[in-house]
Amino acid sequence: MNNSARPSRPVALVTGASRGIGAAIAIELAARGFDIAIMAIDDASETAAAIEGQGARALAFQGNLADVAEHASMLESIALWGGPVTCLVNNAGIGSPKRGDLLDVQPEAFDLVLDTNLRGTFFLTQQVARQMVGTPSGAPQSIITVSSVSAELASVERGEYCLSKAGLGMLTKLFALRLAKQGVGVFEIRPGVIRTAMTAGVADKYDRLIAQGLVPMDRWGLPEDIARVVAELASGRFAFATGSVINVDGALSIPRL
């Protein structure tokens, strides 16, 4: 991790950036001129090295998003390292611990998913929003939440996951309204079927469904598809579009007859 002094760059905080979509987002933002802070529950050294390979600085924190008591100290450390966060990417999340009958969902599984995907994301966003309001930046400020098409499309075998993602849709609306006067862009991205480690266990199922026409674009999405959209939203060029939802799903979510 390179902490040496260098000309000031805007700082992005990307959660869940040790691999997959989060790693792709962090690397893309680094290429677009951001220094990157990473929060991940596991080792993110490979992502940090890739960020530095783009000529950016990387600062990694290993921790659980659900542990909201740790958020403030992390943000303080980031501010001392590179300045206040100008772009927050809420990417961290977990799937349902076990897919199955909606009638069999257990409180422990429900609480685990909601504590991470929704509660943890809400309170981290709250902390960053306070910082953005208190310390206006010359750089564009944005909060970008990676949710899922499952915010709208119901999967009864993973109800707790769908509920958590639907909640993120309202989170985006609420923070967009609260931060509109401060000029902070708040956006939600809803990925479709993306090829990552999280979907590896159901890859055969989705290979078959995609071949049968599930995704009109007739392919899996890639982490880089999401990363490029995040980078454009973080650029500040969509300054009058706050609160917007962008589906990055190959037209999967468009209702069809």
Query: How confident is the model over 177-199, as a mean pLDDT?
Result: 94
Q: 61-70, 77-86, 173-182, 190-199: lowest mean pLDDT where?
A: 190-199
List of domains in the chain: 11-248 (3.40.50.720)
Q: Burial of 141 by CB count in 10 Å (0-12 exposed, 13-18 middle, 19+ buried)?
A: buried
Is residue 251's pLDDT more than 70?
A: yes
pLDDT confidence of residue 1: 46
For the chain, give the mean pLDDT. Answer: 94
Identified catalytic residue from 161, 175, 187, 220: 161
pLDDT confidence of residue 3: 46
Task: With beta carbons less than 8 A apart as the criterion, state whether 245 and 190 touch.
Answer: yes
- The pLDDT tens digits of the residues spanning 124-176 come to 999 999 999 998 778 899 999 999 999 999 999 999 999 999 999 999 999 99
Which of 185-221 are b and which e, b meaning 16 or more Cβ less than 10 Å from the residue's Cβ? bbbbbbbbbbbbeebeeeeeebeeebeeeebeeeebb
**Cβ atoms within 10 A of the Cβ of 5, count?**
6
Is residue 107's pLDDT more than 50?
A: yes
Sign of dihedral through CA atoms 172, 33, 24, 117? negative
Is residue 5's pLDDT more than 90?
A: no
pLDDT confidence of residue 206: 92
Q: Select the highest-mean-pLDDT range: 7-21, 177-191, 200-214.
A: 177-191
How many whole angstroms separate alpha carbon 23 and alpha carbon 132? 24
- The pLDDT tens digits of the residues spanning 204-236 come to 999 999 999 999 999 999 999 999 999 999 999
pLDDT confidence of residue 132: 96
161 belongs to the catalytic site: yes
